[in-house]
């Protein structure tokens, strides 16, 4: 941070200490990138923004305690260092390792798609329940990729079973 920005931050923090709320926005704009970068060096990357946010909350909640004779950036960085230390100790107490976040679901399948897939599966099972056991066994073996039945006989049985499945599906759910 350059000398001019430091002096501006000191002036803004003095205004905040006096209760001038209009100084909040510019002070935030000066502090946020510096506190975030500072926190990123001392805690895990996933926790850096949380530590920086906690530090900013603490800085602004304690703005009335700020001494205008002190360097505002050093004061804010001291609070950020304390927040980083607290976050690391909390993690150690819980014996948490830097566990990667859980895998996110496929962005292509949201809740609606999951419900649609579940309903479609239930409809298919209902239609399969109307078929002969031999047809269900053939379709299930083909879906599972079972090597149990091979050759022309299996392909013909599968073709007939799928034909009966289509007829049952159309009878139950329409012409789709």
Concatenated DSSP letters of the chain: --HHHHHHHHHHHHHHHTT-GGGHHHHHHHHHHHHHHHHHHHS-HHHHHHHHHHHHHHHHHTGGG--TTS-HHHHHHHHHHHHHHHHHHHHHHTT---PPPPPPPPTT--HHHHHHHHHHHHHHHHHHTTS-HHHHHHHHHHHHT-SSS-HHHHHHHHHHHHHHHHHHHHHHH---
pLDDT of residue 54: 92
pLDDT of residue 99: 56
Q: For residue 106, is pLDDT > 70?
A: no
Mean pLDDT, the chain, whole residue set: 83
Q: pLDDT category, 109, cuts 50, 70, 90?
A: low
Any idea where the domains of the chain sit in the sequence?
Answer: 3-93, 125-173
**Domain 3-93, what fold?**
Rna Polymerase Sigma Factor; Chain: A (1.10.1740)
pTM over 0.75: no
Q: pLDDT category, 124, cuts 50, 70, 90?
A: confident
């Amino acid at each position: 941070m350059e000398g001019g920005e430091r002096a501006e931050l000191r002036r803004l923090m003095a205004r905040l200490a006096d209760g001038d709320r209009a100084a909040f926005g510019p002070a935030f704009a000066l502090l946020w990138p510096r506190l975030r970068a500072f926190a990123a060096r001392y805690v895990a990357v996933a926790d850096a923004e949380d530590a920086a946010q906690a530090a900013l909350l603490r800085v602004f909640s304690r703005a009335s305690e700020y001494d205008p004779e002190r360097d505002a950036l050093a004061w804010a960085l001291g609070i950020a260092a304390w927040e980083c230390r607290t976050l690391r100790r909390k993690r150690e107490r819980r014996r948490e390792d830097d566990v990667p976040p859980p895998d996110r679901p496929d962005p292509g399948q949201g809740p609606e798609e999951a419900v649609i897939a579940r309903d479609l599966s239930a409809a298919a099972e209902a239609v399969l329940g109307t078929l002969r056991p031999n047809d269900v066994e053939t379709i299930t073996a083909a879906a599972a990729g079972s090597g149990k039945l091979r050759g022309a006989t299996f392909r013909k049985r599968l073709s007939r079973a799928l034909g009966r499945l289509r007829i049952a599906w159309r009878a139950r759910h329409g012409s789709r």
